[in-house]
């Protein structure tokens, strides 16, 4: 048996067209959604990602503003720029591309973004809202993973989910969302003694480490759903995830590919959060 693929590109396309319809409705009442993307420095990967986000907005009929700053910008200047965007009624979402140069404290930057415009879902208030089950913005990557489960009709309730990785932007919020969906959740990380012991019991495995071949076929229960959040390059420079895809697909029931899996969903959920922010702003008047 080989696993069925969860096609992130196809699902992201559906989500984008839904967002486009919602954006058109806001435009009709003179409230075109607007996303501000801030890029500091000239990290080539960040340049590409940021261009994608701008293009995604255009495709969905939303306005985007790309602000590029030299790597030498002071933290104070950057914070002042964010404060100005917080006040700007035409901007509904603010994203500061990470990583930032070493002299800038990323948490300080994130906390300066108005929680109402925190479409990355990285603000402590967003994290707190997720933790207590209040409305807020969910981080795009784990939010996209939940949508992928939903798309295959998979209800996490009563299932055992193992999340590998404990970052603030993926692992921890992923575990929270699965818990909210009534899964039994185990979080594994670099100090976990026997990773395979845990993953072999999992109905759902989410690999979010940033290292190749973290999950191999011998570590997967037959039929499990495997979600690969990793974004790595192999020796040949080819994009690959954290999962040994060729091996694991022989055992799993469902698997997400890299590329074409979680990545496109992350981008789609940014649009969802932005349209949500714009709709909430319109409802406030």
Ligand X SMILES: Nc1nc(=O)c2c([nH]1)NC[C@@H]1CN(c3ccc(C(=O)N[C@@H](CCC(=O)O)C(=O)O)cc3)C=[N+]21
Catalytic residues, which ones?
53, 97, 120
Q: Which residue in the block uniquely carries the two structure tokens 């997400």?
A: 256
Q: Among 59, 196, 210, 260, indicate the residue that binds ligand X (CB under 6 A).
A: 260
Stretch that binds ligand X, among 23-31, 71-79, 189-197, 259-267 (CB under 6 A): 259-267
167 is in an annotated binding site: yes
Q: Among 160, 166, 198, 267, indicate the residue that binds ligand X (CB under 6 A).
A: 267
93 is in an annotated binding site: no
CA 226 to CA 205: how far, in whole Å? 5
Alpha helices in the chain, H assignment, sequence order = 8-28, 44-59, 75-87, 106-112, 124-132, 140-151, 171-180, 195-199, 245-248, 262-284
151 is in an annotated binding site: no
Contact positions with ligand X (CB under 6 A) in 212-241: 231, 239
**Which residues neighbour 216 within 8 Å (Cβ) at sequence distance 6 or greater?**
244, 247, 248
Contact positions with ligand X (CB under 6 A) in 31-70: 49
Q: Among 25, 200, 259, 279, indicate the residue that binds ligand X (CB under 6 A).
A: 259
- How many CB atoms within 10 Å of residue 162? 28
Q: Among 64, 112, 256, 266, indicate the residue that binds ligand X (CB under 6 A).
A: 266
CB of 241 to ligand X, least distance (A): 8
Q: Which residue in the block uniquely carries the two structure tokens 């030299």?
A: 70
Helix, strand, coil percent values for the chain (each to nearest 5): 45, 15, 40
CB of 84 to ligand X, least distance (A): 18
Stretch that binds ligand X, among 22-30, 73-81, 86-94, 255-263 (CB under 6 A): 255-263
Q: Among 25, 98, 131, 179, indicate the residue that binds ligand X (CB under 6 A).
A: 98
Question: Collapsing DSSP states into helix, strand and coil, what is residue 258?
Answer: coil
- HSE value, Cβ hemisphere, 13 Å, CA-based, for 107: 4
Question: Collapsing DSSP states into helix, strand and coil, what is residue 161?
Answer: strand
Residues that bind ligand X (CB under 6 A): 49, 95-98, 120, 140, 231, 239, 258-260, 263-264, 266-267
- Which residues does the annotation place in the binding site for NADP(+)? 165-167
- Which residues does the annotation place in the binding site? 165-167
């Amino acid at each position: 048996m080989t696993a069925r693929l969860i096609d992130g590109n196809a699902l992201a396309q559906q989500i984008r067209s839904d967002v486009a319809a919602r954006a058109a409705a806001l435009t009709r009442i003179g409230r075109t959604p607007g996303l501000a993307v801030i890029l500091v420095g000239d990290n080539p990967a960040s340049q590409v990602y940021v261009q994608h986000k701008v293009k995604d907005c255009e495709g969905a009929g939303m306005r985007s503003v790309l602000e590029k700053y030299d790597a030498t910008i002071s933290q104070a200047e950057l914070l002042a720029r964010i404060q100005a965007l917080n006040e700007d009624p035409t901007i509904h979402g603010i994203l500061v591309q990470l990583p930032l140069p070493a002299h800038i404290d990323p948490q300080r930057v994130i906390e300066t973004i108005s929680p109402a415009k925190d479409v990355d879902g990285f603000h402590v208030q967003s994290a707190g809202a997720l933790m207590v089950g209040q409305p807020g913005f969910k981080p795009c990557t784990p939010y996209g993973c939940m949508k992928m489960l939903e798309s295959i009709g998979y209800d996490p309730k009563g299932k055992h989910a193992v999340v590998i990785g404990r970052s603030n932007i993926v692992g921890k919020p992923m575990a929270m969302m699965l818990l909210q969906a009534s899964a039994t959740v185990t979080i594994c990380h670099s100090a976990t003694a026997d990773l395979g012991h845990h993953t072999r019991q999992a109905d759902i495995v989410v690999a979010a480490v940033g290292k190749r071949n973290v999950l191999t076929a011998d570590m997967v229960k037959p039929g499990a759903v495997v979600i690969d959040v990793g974004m790595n390059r192999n020796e040949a420079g080819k994009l690959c995830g954290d999962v040994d895809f060729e091996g694991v697909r022989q055992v799993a029931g469902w698997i997400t590919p890299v590329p074409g899996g979680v990545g496109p969903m992350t981008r789609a959920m940014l649009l969802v959060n932005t349209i949500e922010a714009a709709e909430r702003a319109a409802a406030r008047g």
